[in-house]
Amino acid sequence: MPEWKPEIRRRLAPLKLSPTREEEIAEEIAQHLDDQYQELVTAGSPTDSAFRVTLDQLKNEELLTSNLRSVESDLYCKPGGLGSSNLLGGVLQDIRYVFRMISKSPGFTAVAVLTLALGIGANTAIFSVINGVLLNPLPYKNPNQLVAVKEHDSLPNVMEIQRQVRAFSQGGGINVEPMDYTGGAEPVQVRVGLVNAGFLETLGVQPMLGRIISPGEDVHGGPPHGYHLFSRPRGLRI
Amino acid sequence: METQASQVEWKKGSAELLILSLVEARPRHGYEISKLIEQRSRGTVRFHVASLYPLLYRLERRGWLCGRWVEKNGQRRRRYYRLTRQGRRVLAAQLRGWHQFVAGINRITEAENA
pLDDT tens-digit map of B32-57? 999 999 999 888 888 889 889 999 99
A 195-234: CB under 8 A from B: none
Position B4 scores a pLDDT of 63
8 Å CB contact between B77 and B71: yes
A and B: number of Cβ contacts within 8 A: 53
Q: Determine the residue of chain A that is closest to B53 in CA distance.
A: A29
Asked if A177 contacts A154 with a C-beta cutoff of 8 angstroms, the reply is no
- For residue B16, how many other CB atoms are within 10 A of its CB? 19
> Phi, psi at residue A33, to the nearest 5°?
-65, -40
Q: In chain B, what residues touch A55 (CB-CB under 8 Å)? A: none
The band of A168, judged by pLDDT with boundaries at 50, 70 and 90, is confident
DSSP state at residue A223: P
Mean pLDDT of chain A: 80
Quick check: B50 and A60 CB within 8 A? Answer: yes
Higher pLDDT, A162 or A5: A5
Q: Chain B 42-81, CB below 8 Å of chain A: which residues? A: 48-55, 57-58, 61, 69, 71, 76, 78-79
What one-letter code names the amino acid at B92? A
Query: What distance, in Å, lies between the first and last C-alpha atoms of chain B?
Result: 26
In which band, very low, low, confident or very high, does the pLDDT at A83 lie, cut at 50, 70 and 90? Answer: very low
- Chain A positions touching B61 (Cβ under 8 A) are 71, 74-75, 81
Cα gap B31→A42, rounded to integer Å? 16
Output A235 or B34, whichever has higher pLDDT: B34
- Which pLDDT score, from 0 to 100, does residue A230 have? 56
Mean pLDDT on A66-92? 61
Residues of chain B with pLDDT under 70: 1-9, 112-114
Position A6 pLDDT exceeds 80: yes
pLDDT of residue A86: 55
Nearest to B51 among A33, A67, A74 (CB): A67
**Closest B-chain CA to A100:** B71
Distance CA A221, CA A234 (A): 22
Q: How confident is the model at residue A87 (pLDDT cuts 50, 70, 90)?
A: low
CB-neighbour burial class of residue A63 (10 A; exposed 0-12, middle 13-18, buried 19+): middle
Q: How far is A11 from chain B (nearest CA, A)?
A: 10
